[in-house]
Amino acid sequence: MMKRRDILKAVLALGVTAPAVHANSEDDMDVELDLSKREWRKILDDDAAFRVLFKDGTERPWSSDLNQEKRAGTYICKACFQPLFDASMKFESGTGWPSFFDTLEGAVGLKRDFKLILPRTEYHCTRCGGHQGHVFDDGPQPTGKRYCNNGVALTFVAQGDELPELRAMAS
């Protein structure tokens, strides 16, 4: 009798993946700043940030300087500068990526992804649609959530420093 793990191994060996099924696909995700990938490519001078934000990539764990960031402040989307997290929401998850137990209200939108066959919930900036990371149900209270973010998709603004103006259009 074939076991589920044998079926999974066979599917992975063939390179077959499940179709992406999104509760809220990018095509119908409400984003305020609707620019093409080509326009975002012109705006972002960081190849790694572009790959993560607009090609749904992932940075290597432990590669972000933001893992060690402990100051009070705000974490903003690297593409459009929308505030996403307050520093008080950050915690040490031990995963190698900056992690937060909550987001600022209205800052992120969720969608389901099956890129690794098993379903996960990814989240994107609601302003530009840039991919930030994935959310899991193994975080601390009060939410029990872990927003596992790619550091390369964020910029940290220390408390007292001025937040940059939200990007309005491609240059």
pLDDT in tens, 140-154: 999 999 999 999 999
pTM of the model: 0.80
Q: Which helix (H) or strand (E) holds 89?
A: none
Check 80, 125, 128, 148 and give the catalytic one.
Answer: 148
| pLDDT of 9 higher than 90 | no
129 has which bridge partners? none
Q: How much is the pLDDT for 12? A: 40
Q: How much is the pLDDT for 107? A: 97
Fold of the 32-158 domain: 2.170.150
* Residues 89, 112: Cα–Cα separation, whole Å: 23
Q: How much is the pLDDT for 114? A: 75
Q: How much is the pLDDT for 15? A: 40
* Residues 98, 90: Cα–Cα separation, whole Å: 7
Alpha-carbon torsion angle 65, 68, 72, 73, nearest 10: 20
Q: What is the pLDDT of residues 13-70, one digit of tens each?
A: 444 333 333 333 343 456 788 889 999 999 998 999 999 999 999 999 999 999 999 9
- Across the range 130-148, mean pLDDT stands at 97
| pLDDT of 162 higher than 60 | yes
- CA 156 → CA 19, 59, 105, 110, 164, distances in Å? 35, 17, 18, 22, 11
- CA 103 → CA 7, 59, 135, 153, distances in Å? 38, 20, 11, 15
Residue 146, class by beta-carbon neighbours within 10 Å (0-12 exposed, 13-18 middle, 19+ buried)?
buried
**Active site includes 128?**
no
